[in-house]
Amino acid sequence: MPKSLPAVLLAFAAFGTAAAETTADRWNLAEIYPSVEAWNADAAKLEAQMKEFAACKGRMGENASRFRQCLDLKADMTKRQHRMAAFSGEQVSEDTGNAAYLELDQKADLLESRLNEATAFVDPEILHIGKDKVAQFLAQEPALGIYRFPLEQILRRAAHTLNDEGEALVANFGLMNNAGGSAYSILTNADIPWPKIKLSTGEEITLDASAYTKYREAQNRDDRKRVMDEFFGTFKTYERTIGINLYSQLKQDTVYSKVRKYPDSITRALDRNNVPVAVFDTLIRETNANLPTLYRYFRLRAKMLGVPQLHYYDIYPPLVKGDFKIPYAEGRKLVLEAVAPIGKDYVAALTYGLDHRWMDLYPRPHKQSGAHMDDYAYDVHPYVLMNYNDDYESVTTVAHEWGHAMHSYLAQKAQPFVTSNYAIFVAEIASTFNEELLLQHVLKTAKSDDERLYYLGTALEQLRTTFFRQAMFAEFERNIHARVDKGEPLTGEALTKTYCDILKRYHGAAEGVVAIDDAYCVEWAYVPHFYNAFYVYQYATSIAASSLFAKRVEANESYLNMLKAGGSNYPYELVKTAGVDLATPAPYQALAARMNSIMDEIEAILAKQKK
Ligand SMILES: [Zn+2]
């Protein structure tokens, strides 16, 4: 779960701090495997296990002990393959130019697909064995207890599974899956000739997606307007083609929901993790109810940028420039102090990880950009890749990624391998909650009002992009999927019109809050997530949940239990058990309240500074 850093930050991350790097700043991958020989030995072991596993095919239902033996072997193989992938994958991310490790990582990929093939019969076979016999096995063999929930997840699919002939047919058509998404990816990454433009600084840029995210933040207003005009102008040229692409993806989702006997696309998508559709509906309803909070932010932004009418191209430049430095020693201290409310054990575990080389800290030539957490080495510990750049953004990234790392650490300690892996729906709560605690802490420790303004401005922007913008995307998805489910055709033009209505409503265009040129309404064509149906809403629900958890931080016991539960229950249930029901308005209201209190603080500082 990488936290995407703005391109502008990555550009600055160029090796400035490598000179100060010591062994303690590098992660220790030797804990996964001391040598490539040891990795190869595990590969040989996995090969042998796959041969042994072939004997399970068609025989898993013979008796309870046979059933358990096969499930144990499958879990052990998967755990081994994950550990191998963690080693080869992270060796590559620490040095993307290392040919020997690139080859090892390709070997890991091949082993993964062979393992998938070797175990592909398992789920259908469990469905054949059926609920009653599985229940009988569970009663006979206590050691099967750890599989109770994973088995329930497989058996739940029975109602959406066809007979053998039907399944074979579906599998064959599966070869044509995701053609729309693949074509979109090639089109936007390779084929579209992005325009070259000259900025007011004299700088000449090729305006592709990464240049767009960097230069839409330009301080010069004419520059950022040009950037948006040219970028969306290019998408407009491809509106019809991208429209057909997305429409084909939507139709694919409709067909699958019909074949799998779901009432509609959204029910099928959310059923993967058993999330009630009510969560999605509550998110959209509450977001719309709280749009005045977003409008307040845009009006404040207009004031702080000094523009009489905010335009869509004015929403990205930072409100306050934060050029003060935070070296890692200080950043680490801030994060540790910030998470103190979660409890002593949490702080102790985090300190231990930070002290024992679980993280690769600084940027280096050929190192992978951005940041991510890797928890694939279940028997070792999580690893964190950073590109720490001595600024506040880096500190928030440390808080975020270690939120994931501690989640994995606690879940892996408390859960057997088969129920340790948690869903995205919960994952981004663990990370954004830490970011919220960090914000609360730095607001207390800030040395000046300007510094405080910077933190507050950053937090506002995060709430806009992680909550409101993702909810807007979610509402768009809901609308277009529902129409295709009903058999309505959708062209690029129709998609633009639908997006335009939603975009203008979210930005208060009718109320004069943000002026939106119709030329920007093709923005839907720029969002790759629409090829992954009903995914982004989880960013919005997560940050809403963490807003409510932050208000109840004294109840940290139930929060910690949610982290420790890993993937041992459905994610909506886990969050609800911890005290936050995402199908009710409370978490969304907490988020709006938090955004308003941030704006109260900003306005108080501005009034003091007489701006
Ligand atoms: Zn994350």
Which residues are paired to 197 by β-bridges? 205
What is the Cα–Cα distance from 580 to 549, expressed in whole angstroms?
A: 7
Parallel, antiparallel, or unpaired for β 196-198 and 204-206?
antiparallel
Q: H or E element: which one contains 38?
A: helix 36-53
pLDDT of residue 9: 31
Report pLDDT digits (tens) over 358-394: 999 999 999 998 999 999 999 999 999 999 999 999 9
* Residues marked as catalytic: 401
151 pLDDT above the threshold of 80 = yes
Three-state SS for 568-588 is CCCHHHHHHHCCCCCCCCHHH
Across 299-379, where does the E strand assignment appear? 310-311, 359-360, 372-374
Report pLDDT digits (tens) over 201-227: 999 999 999 899 999 999 999 999 999
Q: Which two tokens stand for residue 81?
A: 């393959």
What is the Cα–Cα distance from 28 to 355, expressed in whole angstroms?
A: 11
What is the Cα–Cα distance from 74 to 55, expressed in whole angstroms?
A: 12
124 pLDDT above the threshold of 60 = yes
Angle at 323 (CA atoms; ends 321, 328), nearest 5 degrees:
135
CB atoms within 10 A of CB 282: 21
C-beta contacts of 49-58 below 8 A and 24+ residues apart:
49/73, 49/76, 49/77, 49/80, 50/77, 50/114, 50/115, 50/118, 53/77, 53/118, 53/119, 54/118, 56/122, 57/121, 57/125, 58/121, 58/125
Which single residue is written with the structure tokens 């404040």?
Answer: 300
For residue 2, how far is its CA from the centre of ligand 1 (angstroms)? 5
This prediction's pTM: 0.92
Mean pLDDT computed over 29-57: 98
DSSP 385-400: E----SSHHHHHHHHH
Q: What is the mean pLDDT of the chain?
A: 94
What is the Cα–Cα distance from 595 to 293, expressed in whole angstroms?
A: 7
Give the model's confidence band at 5: pLDDT under 50 very low, under 70 low, under 90 confident, else very high: very low
Cα-based torsion angle of the residue sequence 342, 347, 349, 350 in order, rounded to the nearest 10 degrees: 100
For residue 404, how far is its CA from the centre of ligand 1 (angstroms)? 7
For residue 427, how far is its CA from the centre of ligand 1 (angstroms)? 7
What is the Cα–Cα distance from 384 to 373, expressed in whole angstroms?
A: 4
| CA-based torsion, 456, 457, 460, 462: positive or negative | negative
Contact (Cβ atoms closer than 8 angstroms) between residue 367 and residue 387: yes
Contact (Cβ atoms closer than 8 angstroms) between residue 56 and residue 72: no
pLDDT of residue 2: 43
Report pLDDT digits (tens) over 52-68: 999 999 999 999 999 99
Give the model's confidence band at 555: pLDDT under 50 very low, under 70 low, under 90 confident, else very high: low
For residue 69, how far is its CA from the centre of ligand 1 (angstroms)? 36
Angle at 304 (CA atoms; ends 303, 307), nearest 5 degrees:
55
For residue 3, how far is its CA from the centre of ligand 1 (angstroms)? 5
For residue 315, how far is its CA from the centre of ligand 1 (angstroms)? 23
CA distance from start to end of the chain: 40
Give the model's confidence band at 611: pLDDT under 50 very low, under 70 low, under 90 confident, else very high: low
Give the model's confidence band at 4: pLDDT under 50 very low, under 70 low, under 90 confident, else very high: very low
For residue 346, how far is its CA from the centre of ligand 1 (angstroms)? 18
pLDDT of residue 192: 94
Cα of 327 vs its chain's centroid, Å: 27
Report pLDDT digits (tens) over 443-470: 999 999 999 999 999 999 999 999 999 9
Which single residue is written with the structure tokens 């919005």?
Answer: 540
Amino acid type, 260: R
DSSP assignment letter at 153:
H
Contacts of 430 (CB under 8 A, 6+ apart): 403, 404, 406, 407, 563
